[in-house]
């Protein structure tokens, strides 16, 4: 899949932050707190409220089998997809930020209101100011969140997730106090469907934290969220590389192999191409696993800095320096693997061992950076 040229080189840093959890778990409250704190961090932030963007008709029920009511999921999915499509259009055309993309599936008034906080008084985007989009919805299936991840990766944005956990009874109690409460049975049913972020299972969910909002959103919770967003802004996702040419070459190599089966020989060109494919696959596997390990180490470093009371402005500088160090480390690692293992495939080497030894180097550098910042306090 080819990467889309979105003009990201001239666009300000941006982050898509997913807020997920049961209705009335505290997502909207957290979003408001983050909006208030964003100015102190020098960000322009807005909330993308799915409940307000998607018209109520999309959630209507119809009579299903045995007289039971069921959601019209197909129409509902179309509305959800429209929200991301509108974001996609905006990210592709920053100069037309204030324009409504023209989707019939979402509320124009709500869309314009949620983007207004991102604009200057004259109605234009501020150059260079980091942008934060807080996506406020239940996002109870990983597939829903993965669509946001794909959008962030497409445009080389930061991506992170905040999962709000609150027991069913508290959510129902809070919900009943709302002007437009969600039916209790909907919340109850959602507890059975809800699949919180699982970084161990889904590596793309590494940039995720979980908050217990039983007693509301604390100051410590807010600080954790702001640090997570800072990390995501400083560590944007890499778009999928344009590997069209490589795929064509490999296709021809495989065709050579297929044709040669009856002749019991492999053309030199096919052999070289398959070796190259194995080499790239091996390097990609090593770098991917090293990237996940480095992210965990950076998260631990930020936690340690917070425990040592490093000031918030220094925390942002620390996050930026750690992420810059990670990018340099991974680029060097990929180059080294490609150079030193020209004839090895992923099956020929102990990838886990290579990653472990390589990450030791990054860990040493991380500790030096962290120690330097702690000593300043």
CATH number (domain holding residue 144): 3.40.50.300
36 shares its domain with 84: yes
Residue 299 has pLDDT above 50, yes or no: yes
Sequence-ordered list of residues with C-beta below 8 angstroms from that of 301, at least 6 positions apart, any chain? 318, 322, 366, 369, 370
Residue that finishes a domain, picked among 199, 215, 234: 234
Please write the tens of the pLDDT for every residue from 248-286: 444 444 444 444 443 334 444 444 444 545 555 666 777
The pLDDT score that the predictor gives to residue 20 is 95
Mean pLDDT value across residues 336-344: 56
8 domain residue, yes or no: no
- The answer to the question of residue 6 being in a domain is no
Boundary residue ending a domain (234, 258, 283): 234
Residue 193's domain spans which residues? 14-234
The arithmetic mean of pLDDT across residues 357-374, rounded, is 88
pLDDT at 8: 42
Q: What percent of the chain has pLDDT over 90?
A: 28
Report the distance separating Cα 94 and Cα 88, nearest Å.
Answer: 10
Q: Degrees (nearest 5) of the Cα angle 315, 6, 333?
A: 55
- The pLDDT of residue 5 is above 60: no
228-250 pLDDT, tens digit each: 999 899 889 887 544 444 444 44
**196: how many CB neighbours lie within 10 A of its CB?**
17
pLDDT (tens digit per residue) in 27-79: 999 999 999 999 888 898 998 888 777 765 555 544 444 443 444 444 667 77
Q: Identify whether residues 82 and 229 lie together within a single domain.
A: yes
The predicted model gives 162-166 an average pLDDT of 95
pLDDT number for residue 203: 84
């Amino acid at each position: 899949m080819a990467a889309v040229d979105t003009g990201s080189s001239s666009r300000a840093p941006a982050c898509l932050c997913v807020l997920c959890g049961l209705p009335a778990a505290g997502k909207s409250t957290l979003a408001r707190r983050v909006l208030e704190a964003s100015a102190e961090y020098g960000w322009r932030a807005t909330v993308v409220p799915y409940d307000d963007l998607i018209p109520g008709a999309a959630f209507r029920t119809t009579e299903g089998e045995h007289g039971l009511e069921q959601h019209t999921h197909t129409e509902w999915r179309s509305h959800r997809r429209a929200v991301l499509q509108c974001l996609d259009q905006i990210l592709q055309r920053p100069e037309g930020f204030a324009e409504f993309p023209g989707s019939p599936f979402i509320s124009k008034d709500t869309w314009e209101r949620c983007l207004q906080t991102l604009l200057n008084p004259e109605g234009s985007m501020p150059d260079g100011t980091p942008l934060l989009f807080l996506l406020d919805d239940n996002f109870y299936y990983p597939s829903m969140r993965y669509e946001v991840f794909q959008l962030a990766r497409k445009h080389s944005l930061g991506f992170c997730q905040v999962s709000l956990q609150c027991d069913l009874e508290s959510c129902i109690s809070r919900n009943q106090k709302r002007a437009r409460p969600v039916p209790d049975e909907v919340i109850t049913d959602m507890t059975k469907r809800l699949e919180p972020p699982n970084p161990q299972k889904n590596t793309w969910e590494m940039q995720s934290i979980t908050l217990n909002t039983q007693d509301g959103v604390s100051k410590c919770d807010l600080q954790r969220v702001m640090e997570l967003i800072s990390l995501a802004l400083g560590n944007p996702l890499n778009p999928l590389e344009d590997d069209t040419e490589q795929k064509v070459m490999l296709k021809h190599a495989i065709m050579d192999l297929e044709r040669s089966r009856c002749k019991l020989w492999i053309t030199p060109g096919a052999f070289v191409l398959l070796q190259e494919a194995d080499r790239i696959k091996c390097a990609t596997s090593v770098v991917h696993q090293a990237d996940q390990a480095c992210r965990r180490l950076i998260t631990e470093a930020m936690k340690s800095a917070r425990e040592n009371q490093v000031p918030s402005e220094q925390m942002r500088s620390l996050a930026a320096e750690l992420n810059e160090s990670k990018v340099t480390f991974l680029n060097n690692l990929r180059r080294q693997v490609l150079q030193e293992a020209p004839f090895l495939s992923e099956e020929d080497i102990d990838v886990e061992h290579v990653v472990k030894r390589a990450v030791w180097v990054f860990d040493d550098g991380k500790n030096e950076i962290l120690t330097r910042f702690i000593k300043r306090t």
